[in-house]
């Protein structure tokens, strides 16, 4: 059994999404955030399954004191809830006072101008869906890769309120791997692929690498994909600085990642660069890490 025993789904139910959708529409974002504080406290006291890996992350990985750990656990749940609400707000077109900064956006604009398409690799930190919507600024079709359990839950909740956007969902199909063909076709059309680089399900290709000095299991698929198609690759994150402000980051990996002896070696070099980049981002935003399961070996 892998230490990354993730089942392809995230916290929250379709009913929970719907309740907050009505709250957002009729009572506003501020009231929804207020309600979220009580929901977050509930998880602190009763969600022992997810509390355990969060406590390990803060105490053993980041070396935080026991007392401060509980505050960070609460903040983690609260921030995670905010990302879910913000996702609904943006996708449903609900009016807000959100503001955004774009760091190194020129990388993405250059990619769009060359018309070659590319791969954006992110993680379960910050707000990935917000990043996907903000990327509409570069005026190139976006394809977001996600697991079916995550996609269906969100789709069931917001199907009646979501506005049409310039992006497409590619659902991972572990039975016939049809998502691989969809990704290939999108890249052939010079479109952009957005994919997570920190999670995988049992049975997919993975490798153990040091992460904050401790062994952790990472997927190889996203990095093989980048090497296979030889398209521009960027590490992209949308992090929340305040309740109404997001910061979008885009980082280009070093040019030497495609100089390995074979595809696996090049993929691992790219993964190692991603891990270093991810560590820096998590040190800056420690309460926006949303992997609620045993991540480290």
Q: How many CA atoms lie within 13 Å of 223's alpha carbon, on the beta-carbon side?
A: 28
Better-predicted residue by pLDDT, 216 or 259? 216
Better-predicted residue by pLDDT, 20 or 153? 20
Beta bridge partners of 193: 119, 143
Give mean pLDDT, residues 223-241. 89
pTM of the model: 0.85
Task: Tell me how far CA of residue 209 lies from CA of 23, 201, 252, 267, 274, in angstroms.
Answer: 42, 17, 21, 13, 11
**Most distant pair of Cα atoms in the chain: their distance:** 58
- List the beta strands (DSSP E) in the chain: 99-103, 118-122, 142-147, 167-172, 192-196, 206-211, 214-219, 233-242, 245-251
Q: Give the tens place of pLDDT for each residue, 1-19.
A: 334 454 444 555 556 666 7
Give mean pLDDT, residues 92-98. 74
Six-digit token string for 55: 């406590």
pLDDT of the residue at 3? 41
If DSSP codes are grouped into helix, strand and coil, which group holds residue 76? helix
Give mean pLDDT, residues 277-294. 94
Q: Domain locations in the chain?
A: 14-284
pLDDT of the residue at 244? 87
pLDDT of the residue at 147? 67
Evaluate whether 162 touches 21 at the Cβ level (below 8 Å): no
Give mean pLDDT, residues 58-75. 96
pLDDT of the residue at 8? 41
Instruction: Please state which CATH number belongs to domain 14-284.
Output: 3.40.1130
Query: If you write DSSP's letter for every residue of 102-120 in order, what string do you get?
Result: EESHHHHHHHHHHT--EEE
């Amino acid at each position: 059994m892998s230490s990354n025993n993730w089942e392809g789904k995230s916290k929250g139910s379709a009913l929970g999404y719907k309740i907050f959708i009505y709250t957002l529409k009729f009572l506003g974002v501020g009231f929804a955030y207020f309600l979220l504080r009580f929901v977050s406290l509930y998880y602190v006291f009763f969600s022992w399954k997810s509390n355990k890996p969060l406590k390990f992350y803060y105490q053993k990985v980041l070396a935080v004191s026991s007392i401060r750990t509980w505050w960070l656990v609460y903040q983690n749940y609260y921030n995670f809830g905010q990302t879910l609400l913000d996702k609904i707000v943006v996708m449903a077109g609900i009016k807000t006072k959100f503001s955004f900064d774009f760091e190194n956006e020129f990388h993405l604009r250059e990619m769009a101008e060359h018309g070659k398409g590319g791969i954006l690799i992110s993680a379960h930190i910050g707000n990935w869906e917000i990043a996907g919507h903000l990327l509409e600024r570069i005026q190139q079709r976006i394809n977001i890769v996600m697991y079916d359990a995550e996609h269906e839950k969100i789709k069931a909740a917001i199907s009646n309120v979501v506005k049409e956007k310039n992006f497409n969902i590619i659902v991972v199909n572990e039975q016939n791997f049809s998502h691989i063909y969809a990704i290939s076709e999108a890249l052939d059309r010079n479109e952009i692929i957005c994919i997570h680089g920190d999670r995988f399900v049992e049975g997919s290709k993975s490798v153990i690498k040091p992460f904050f000095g401790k062994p952790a299991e990472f997927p190889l698929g996203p990095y093989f994909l980048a090497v296979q198609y030889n398209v521009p690759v960027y590490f992209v994150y949308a992090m929340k600085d305040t309740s109404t402000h997001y910061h979008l980051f885009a980082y280009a990996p070093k040019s030497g990642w495609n100089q390995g002896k074979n595809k696996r070696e090049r993929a691992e070099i790219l993964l190692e660069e991603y891990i270093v980049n991810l560590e820096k981002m998590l040190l800056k935003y420690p309460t926006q890490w949303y992997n609620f399961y045993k991540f480290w070996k």
